[in-house]
Amino acid sequence: MAMIIRDALNQEFDEVASLNVEAYREYSQVLTLEDWKKMQTNLSNVVEIAKPGRLIIAEQDSVLVGSVIYHLLEHQVVVCFNQNGHPCGC
């Protein structure tokens, strides 16, 4: 099935937040618990992160497989995840 790239809907922000945290979970092994909790909070704050830009998602077979936040004013990609939930350079 083809991958669909589109703007995220508001009701999908929680799912994107979960994907963000899972993509970075491996770093919980090397961070202090306090730092990991801060990182989780920041990664989950999709509403605030997306405000100055666009939250774009990739879905395949109706499953979220990636996301990117594009800041329109800065023309810069902030976060991108692949289908395995790992950060990637986009």
pLDDT in tens, 12-56: 999 999 998 998 999 999 999 999 999 999 899 888 888 878 899
Q: Cβ distance 70 to 54 under 8 Å?
A: yes
CATH number (3.40.140.80, 3.50.50.60, 3.30.565.10, 3.40.630.30) of 3-80 reads 3.40.630.30
The one-letter code for the residue type at 71 is H
Sign of CA dihedral 74, 35, 64, 84: positive
Answer whether 84's CB lies under 8 Å from 66's CB. Answer: no
C-alpha dist (Å) from residue 69 to 30, 57, 59, 75, 84: 26, 9, 15, 10, 18
What is the predicted pLDDT for the residue at 72?
A: 66
Domain ranges of the chain: 3-80
